[in-house]
Structures are given as C-alpha cells and as structure tokens.
C-alpha cells in the first residue's frame, strides 16, 4: 500500500459489526396483565377479586431480577453432603441462594396455603393463577411448593397431627434452616411413595413400619426400607407409604425426631436429572425412621391419594404455565426479528405456527381452570356432586393431556427462536428439558388413562357428569356436537377399554377443552380450536391450522407485550 492510501488500512481493532435484528429480552413486563387468556379465566371462574394481587405477582415474576433467579437456581445445581466436615451424618442438600429466594417468594405469596387458610369461591383458581405465573419463571422449586400445598388434606385426616403441623405448614413464610420442626414457624412437606421395584404400582412397596408402642392412626412407628425418588429432601417432613401387617399405610416422617436427634432418613445420592435441575430429587434409606400414622392402617393409598389429586392438579397448572411461557418467548422473538423482508410475526407460516401454539395454551388453561373451579365448589360444598365427579375424571384426563402435549409444544416454540432457542442462555432450553417431567411425575401417561377407567368402573356417574358438563355447549357447534356424540359411542362397548384408554382420554380432554373455550366466549379462539383439533385432520404438527381463521386475535392474546 502506498503512502497515499495508508489512511484506508483497516484498524485491527475496528468494530466488526453492529448487532441488530434481535428481539428485546422478555423481561420487566407484567406477566399477569399481559395474559388475556389468564385474566379471562380468573374472572370466569370466580376469582376476579384476586386480580390486584395477581397483577402485583405478575409484575414481580416478570422482572429481570426474578427471571434471573430462575436461571441461577438451575445453573448452580443442588449439592449433596452426606456428612459434615467432622464426619457426622447430616444428609444435607445445599441450594443456591436464588432457589431459596424463589421458595420464599412462593411461600410468602401463599401458593402453598391460600385456599386452605381462606376458602372462598375462586380461592383455588386464584392460587392456581399465582402458581401459573410463578412456574413460568422456574419450575423446579414448584415441586416442594406443590407438595406442601397438597399434603394438607392428607395430614388433616389425623386431627392431632393436623393441630401440631398445619399452622406451621400453612404459615406464609419460608424457613430453610435444618433444625427440628418444633423450632420452626414455617414448614415444608415432601412425599415418599416410589420404590425401586415400582412407582406406579405402590402396592409393591417393601418398606416396613413397626409400631413403637400402641398401633393405629396418629401413633408412632419406625420405618425400615428405601424410597427411590424423594424430591426436595430438605423438607421438614414427608408423607411416606410403608407396609404394616395390615397393609400399605401412610406416615408423616419428620427430618428430626422429637428428642432433637436426626431421624435416620439417609440420602444415598441425588438423581442426575435431565430437567427439573434446581429441585433436588433423592434416593433415601429409612433406617428406623420415626413417623406417625396418617389415616387408617392399611389405607395408605386412600390417605395419600388426597395429596396425589392435588399434585396432579398442579401438574396441569405447571405444564400449562410452561406452554404459556414458551409461546410468550416465541412471539416476543418473532415480533422482534425480521427475515426475508418482514418480521417473523408477519410471515404467514410463522403466524400459523404461533397461533397454533397459542391455541394449545388456551385449551390447557381452559380445562385446568375449570378444574380449579371444581376444586373450589366441591371444597366449599361437599354435597356438590357435579363438581366432585367432574374433578374425578378431569384430573387424570387433564393431567394426562396437558402434560403429554408439552414436550412437542416446547420444542416447536423453541424452534421459533431458531438457533438461539437451543442455547442455555435463553429459557427455551430449560422449558424443553422441563416439559416431560410432569407427564411422568405423579402418575405417568398410561397410569392416568387407566385411572380414568378406574373412575368409570367405580363411579359410572362420572361419565354422565362429564357429558352433562359438555352438554352446556350442545348445539353451539356442529363439529363439537359430532365429536361428543362419537365419544359417547366409545363407551357403549367397553371391550378392550384398557387398550383404547389413551384414545378415549384424548377425546375426553379435547372435547372438554373445546366446550370450555366455547363457554369462555371468544369466538375466534373457539372456532380455531375446534377447526384445528376436532376436524378430520388426523395426525398433525403445529402450524397446520386451516385457512380462514382470525389469527390476529389469537396472536394478540399470545403476545406478552400486548394486553387486550
């Protein structure tokens, strides 16, 4: 280069490029105010009074600070210490500060307690909505929140235990100290059912319990055996199944004995899970661990089933929340990124994909919140048979369907972000790894489908109730009517019912979602849901919505920056 052109030589430290065409981060938004489907569901199902608190919670869960807690709680996995530095057995799990902050936020907001401490119309719905907002930030800490919430009906079966434990379980506070329950003001509860030889079939449990003195409900027993999957092992106590001479029974097993010694619940190791990383799940051995019998001897499953029912409800809420967050992220990205001359949000094929993903959320939320209302109504009026029976079928069907739809939904939403979606810097990768968990936890898919059949066999009225609920929208859409009638036909012949159980539960869920969406009253959403999911479409991917739908409305509901 001659001297004349010297000034054109590139500076080696020159700026290589400008960063542009990137979506803004989805943070510092109000996750409640911007969620039209959620706000409508809250009002529709009797929890309108909770809106100020939900809006305040949504403002918090949308902050960059709290979103960051979710990342940190997963980046810094829980660490297990079997012994302390001097060799004493401690069975201690250390969590990152961010996990504790999330726990404190959830417990101080009453996600574990509100419908029990202040039962009123809409209480379960309001609490579910709060949980839905919180779960969008981080799913792992939802496990102990859910278990603590869900343990209340089971522990209530034994009034003497309830009197001692419930005031502290229902306290809206978090005390993570590893000290005996009687030294604390706030407690969390876990559960131990699954053993190596069987999780679905808990009757195969081999853990044994021997009475310390007198036998029966409320009496102390010592448990010897193991549990293969006990999540949140730093909980203050666990509801555990163990065999007595009279069969499988349920026990409340504390971390510490009343004399201040450590109860011998020994953690063998933590599970190395692909998802749900912030939440420690452990393998434990019970070496004479003390526990009090909850419910009747030999009736352990009916005792713990109360807890299981609530955890299944929370699986519906948690998975629906994962879907909502995935769509919010996908739409946020598509709105802020252009390709081939238009923002992705304006590209017809991307609109089809995003609207279809939003319809999934609409359906999930519709059935989940209807079950929330059923919980409210059946708790407030135990004689309300319709709501009770609706719940009996709705929990397995809804849990099955929503959780099972989530992995593919998360994957499609991830793909909307292109390559960024698969990096751990975005929440999409975590949502994807989280997506299969709820489907397996608390009764895997087949188990839910079989539970639906069990309910039908034991209480045939559940089916009449289901169709009575569907009947509320009869005549409003010929395709829905046709799908409901075809479903009724399935029950005329119960041969091979087990073999067909998934098909039946799919259709129970889909028709209920469609019916709920019709009742909800947004014609664009209901029409698109029915047109895409109840037609003759057959197997389908997301993004295959038929022509002629009002995508504008659906996408506005999906957009976390647009509230209508």
216 to 235: interface string for ligand FAD, x by CB under 6 A: -------------xxx----
Centroid of chain to Cα 439: 9
Please answer whether residues 302 and 241 qualify as being in contact, where contact means their C-beta atoms are separated by less than 8 angstroms: no
- Give the C-alpha distances (Å, rounded to integers) separating 332 from 81, 325, 425, 556: 41, 10, 16, 11
If binding is defined by CB under 6 A, does position 55 make contact with ligand FAD?
no
| Candidates 81-89, 190-198, 254-262, 509-517; binding stretch for ligand FAD (CB under 6 A) | 190-198
If binding is defined by CB under 6 A, does position 172 make contact with ligand FAD?
no
Comparing CA positions, the residue from 294, 194, 180, 184 lying closest to residue 239 is 294
Based on CB atoms, which residue is closest to ligand FAD, 267 or 334?
267
If binding is defined by CB under 6 A, does position 46 make contact with ligand FAD?
no
> Among 131, 171, 194, 243, which residue interacts with ligand FAD (rule: CB under 6 A)?
194
Q: How far is the CB of 320 from ligand FAD (least distance, A)?
A: 18
Comparing CA positions, the residue from 364, 417, 350, 411 lying closest to residue 525 is 364
DSSP state letters, 110-149: TTTTHHHHS--TTHHHHHHHHHHHHHTT-STTHHHHHHHH
Based on CB atoms, which residue is closest to ligand FAD, 273 or 479?
273
Buried b (16+ CB within 10 A) or exposed e, 460-480: ebbbebbbebbeebeeebeeb
Beta-ladder partners of 192: 240
If binding is defined by CB under 6 A, does position 437 make contact with ligand FAD?
yes
> Among 447, 480, 504, 518, which residue interacts with ligand FAD (rule: CB under 6 A)?
447
If binding is defined by CB under 6 A, does position 191 make contact with ligand FAD?
yes
Note the residue count of the chain.
564
If binding is defined by CB under 6 A, does position 78 make contact with ligand FAD?
no
Based on CB atoms, which residue is closest to ligand FAD, 199 or 407?
199
Based on CB atoms, which residue is closest to ligand FAD, 280 or 555?
280
> Cα separation of 280 and 79, whole Å?
8
If binding is defined by CB under 6 A, does position 207 make contact with ligand FAD?
no
Q: How far is the CB of 375 from ligand FAD (least distance, A)?
A: 21
| Candidates 23-31, 113-121, 186-194, 285-293; binding stretch for ligand FAD (CB under 6 A) | 186-194
If binding is defined by CB under 6 A, does position 192 make contact with ligand FAD?
yes
- Classify burial at 425, counting beta carbons within 10 Å of its beta carbon; exposed 0-12, middle 13-18, buried 19 or more: exposed
Q: Interaction with ligand FAD in 250-309: which residues (CB under 6 A)?
A: 273, 276, 281
| Candidates 189-197, 247-255, 325-333, 395-403; binding stretch for ligand FAD (CB under 6 A) | 189-197
Angle value at C-alpha 127, between 229 and 161, nearest 5 degrees: 55
The SS3 assignment for 475 reads coil
Residues that bind ligand FAD (CB under 6 A): 190-194, 198-201, 229-231, 273, 276, 281, 437, 440-447, 450
């Amino acid at each position: 280069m001659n001297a004349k052109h010297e000034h054109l030589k590139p500076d080696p430290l020159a700026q290589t490029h400008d960063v542009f065409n990137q979506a803004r981060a989805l943070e510092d938004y109000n996750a409640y105010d911007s969620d039209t489907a959620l706000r409508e569901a809250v009002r529709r199902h009797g929890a309108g009074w909770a809106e100020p608190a939900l809006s305040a919670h949504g403002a918090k869960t949308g902050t960059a600070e709290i979103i960051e807690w979710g990342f940190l709680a997963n980046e810094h996995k829980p660490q297990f210490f079997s012994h302390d530095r001097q060799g004493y057995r401690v069975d201690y799990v250390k969590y990152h500060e961010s996990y504790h902050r999330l726990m404190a936020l959830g417990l101080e907001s009453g996600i574990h307690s509100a419908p029990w401490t202040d039962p009123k119309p809409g209480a379960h719905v309001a609490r579910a909505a709060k949980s839905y907002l919180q779960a969008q930030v981080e799913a792992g800490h939802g496990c102990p929140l859910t278990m603590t919430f869900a343990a209340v009906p089971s522990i209530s079966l034994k009034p003497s235990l309830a009197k001692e434990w419930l005031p502290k379980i229902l306290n809206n506070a978090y005390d993570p100290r590893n000290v005996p329950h009687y030294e604390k003001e706030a407690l969390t509860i876990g559960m131990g059912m699954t053993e190596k030889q069987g999780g679905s079939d808990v009757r195969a449990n081999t853990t044994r319990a021997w009475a310390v003195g007198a036998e029966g409900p409320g009496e102390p027993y010592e448990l010897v055996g193991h549990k293969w999957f006990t999540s949140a092992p730093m909980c203050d106590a666990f509801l555990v199944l163990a065999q007595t001479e009279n069969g499988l029974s349920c026990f409340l097993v504390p971390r510490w004995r009343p004399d201040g010694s450590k109860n011998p619940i020994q953690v063998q190791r933590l599970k190395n899970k692909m998802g749900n990383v912030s939440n420690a799940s452990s393998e434990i051995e019970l070496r004479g661990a003390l526990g009090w019998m909850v419910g009747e001897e030999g009736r352990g499953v009916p005792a713990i089933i109360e807890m299981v029912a609530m955890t299944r409800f929370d699986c519906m809420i948690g998975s629906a929340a994962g879907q909502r967050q995935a769509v919010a992220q996908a739409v946020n990205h598509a709105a802020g990124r252009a390709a081939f001359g238009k923002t992705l949000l304006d590209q017809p094929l991307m609109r089809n994909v995003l609207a279809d993903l939003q319809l999934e959320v609409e359906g999930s939320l519709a059935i989940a919140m209807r079950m929330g209302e059923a919980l409210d109504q059946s708790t407030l009026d135990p004689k309300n048979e319709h709501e009770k029976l609706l719940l009996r079928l709705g929990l397995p069907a809804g849990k099955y369907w929503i959780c099972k739809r989530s992995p593919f939904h998360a994957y499609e939403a991830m793909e909307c972000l292109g390559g960024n979606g698969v990096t751990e810097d975005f929440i999409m990768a975590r949502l994807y790894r989280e997506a299969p968990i709820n489907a397996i936890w608390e009764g895997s898919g087949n188990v839910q489908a079989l539970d639906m059949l069990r309910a039908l066999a034991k209480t045939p009225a559940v089916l009449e109730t289901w169709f009575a609920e569907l009947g509320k929208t009869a005549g409003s859409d010929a395709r829905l009517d046709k799908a409901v009638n075809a479903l009724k036909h399935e029950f005329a012949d119960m041969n091979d019912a087990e073999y067909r159980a998934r098909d039946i539960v799919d259709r129970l869920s889909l028709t209920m979602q469609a019916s709920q969406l019709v009742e909800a009253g947004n014609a664009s959403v209901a029409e698109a849901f029915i047109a895409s999911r109840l037609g003759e479409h057959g197997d389908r991917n997301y993004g295959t919505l038929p022509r002629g739908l009002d995508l504008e409305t659906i996408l506005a509901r999906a957009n976390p920056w647009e509230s209508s």
